[in-house]
Amino acid sequence: MKLLREAYYILLGFLQMLGASGLFLMKLLRATPLALARPGLIFQQVFNVGAMSLVLIMVSGLFVGMVLALQGYNTLSKFAATSALGTLVALSLLRELGPVVTALLFAGRAGTALTSEIGLMRATEQLAGMEMMAVDPIRRVVVPRFLAGVISMPLLVGIFNAVGVLGGYLVGVKLMHVDIASFWSQIHANVDLHDDFRSGVIKSVVFGIACTLIAVFEGFYAQPTAEGVSRATTRTVVNSALAVLALDYLLTAFMF
């Protein structure tokens, strides 16, 4: 009985958070047209959120691609099918690992930065100060960061995938001596623009919206204390990771 009640409260809390972030998303969308009038603010945030995550994304992409090629080679060689290595690496990256790993890294690198920045602005009354200067902090601070995250995520995923395939090529072709022609031609023949590429793009856009929304939401509603901001930052990572993995399952189930 007690267990049931606790489960009920957890579910209630979850639904409450879902509702609150949905309302917050509505607020953001309503302020978006005005925010778009100042693209400079958005580009600056694309730099902060996206460009500053580049090194992490590229290094991770390279290693993920290299590991995929190594593991794939070991398995495929048992069936004498190493020529399919390129396909394996490219499809794994495009369909699954690219969007998911990038989103998880993004939550850790950019999401936490967004949450703590906005949370600290709340704690030091900078947001209240803005409101008192008749400047809407949602339009001036939150929306540019949100849009920057939504723009950056698909781009980062694209870069992650490209570098990942390159990593797979380095290990597969240069190290394991898979035939270079079959590596590339198999990718060319088996990766479908509609099914594989598009689904990856859809995933990356959805993850971009989810991760950035969680980050700015947690920051904006953080308790205005040091502890409150640190807890909000933790929640950003935890909730983003859960949201990405759950959404990934749903999207995969629907699309394939």
Partner 1 sequence: MAHASDSASENVIEISGLRYRQGEKRIFDGLNINIPRGKVTAIMGPSGTGKTTLLRIMTGQVLPDRGRVLVDGKNVPRLSIDALYELRREMGFLFQNGALFTDYSVYENVAFPLREHTRLPESLIRHIVLMKLQAVGLRGAAGLMPTELSGGMARRVALARTIAMDPKIIFYDEPFTGLDPISMGVILRLIRQLNDSLGLTSIIVSHDVAEVSSVSDQSYLISEGKVVAYGTPEELEQNKSAWVHQFMKGLADGPVPFHYPAPDLAAQLLGKESAG
**124 scored as a contact of partner 1 (CB under 8 A):** yes
Contact assessment for residue 89 and residue 172, using Cβ atoms and an 8 Å cutoff = yes
Q: Which two tokens stand for residue 8?
A: 């009920």
Q: In angstroms, rounded to a whole number, what is the distance separating the alpha carbons of residues 167 and 173?
A: 10
DSSP 80: T
Q: Choose, by CB under 8 A, the member of 80, 132, 193, 253 that binds partner 1.
A: 132
Q: How far is the CB of 122 from partner 1 (least distance, A)?
A: 11
Q: How far is the CB of 240 from partner 1 (least distance, A)?
A: 24
**140 scored as a contact of partner 1 (CB under 8 A):** yes
DSSP 136: -
Which residues are CB-contacts of 158 (< 8 A; sequence separation ≥ 6)?
Answer: 204
| CB-nearer residue toward partner 1: 26 or 246 | 26
Q: In angstroms, rounded to a whole number, what is the distance separating the alpha carbons of residues 155 and 65?
A: 18
Q: How far is the CB of 131 from partner 1 (least distance, A)?
A: 7
Q: Choose, by CB under 8 A, the member of 135, 181, 245, 246 that binds partner 1.
A: 135
Q: b/e map of 228-254 (b: 16 or more CB within 10 Å)?
A: ebeebbebbbebbbebbeebbeebeee
Q: Which amino acid is located at 5 in the chain?
A: R
Comparing CA positions, the residue from 221, 206, 210 lying closest to residue 243 is 210
Helix, strand or coil for residue 238? helix
**80 scored as a contact of partner 1 (CB under 8 A):** no
Helix, strand or coil for residue 1? coil
**136 scored as a contact of partner 1 (CB under 8 A):** yes
Q: Choose, by CB under 8 A, the member of 9, 125, 174, 192 that binds partner 1.
A: 125
| CB-nearer residue toward partner 1: 39 or 129 | 129
Q: Which two tokens stand for residue 22?
A: 């949905």
**First-to-final CA distance of the chain:** 40
* Residue range at the interface with partner 1 (CB under 8 A); choices 67-75, 84-92, 126-134, 224-232: 126-134
Q: How many residues bind partner 1 (CB under 8 A)?
A: 12
**145 scored as a contact of partner 1 (CB under 8 A):** no
**126 scored as a contact of partner 1 (CB under 8 A):** yes
Q: Choose, by CB under 8 A, the member of 20, 74, 129, 246 that binds partner 1.
A: 129
Rule CB under 8 A: which of 179-238 touch partner 1? none
Q: Choose, by CB under 8 A, the member of 54, 96, 131, 190 that binds partner 1.
A: 131
* Strand runs labelled E in the chain: none
**What are the residues binding partner 1 (CB under 8 A)?**
124-126, 128-129, 131-136, 140
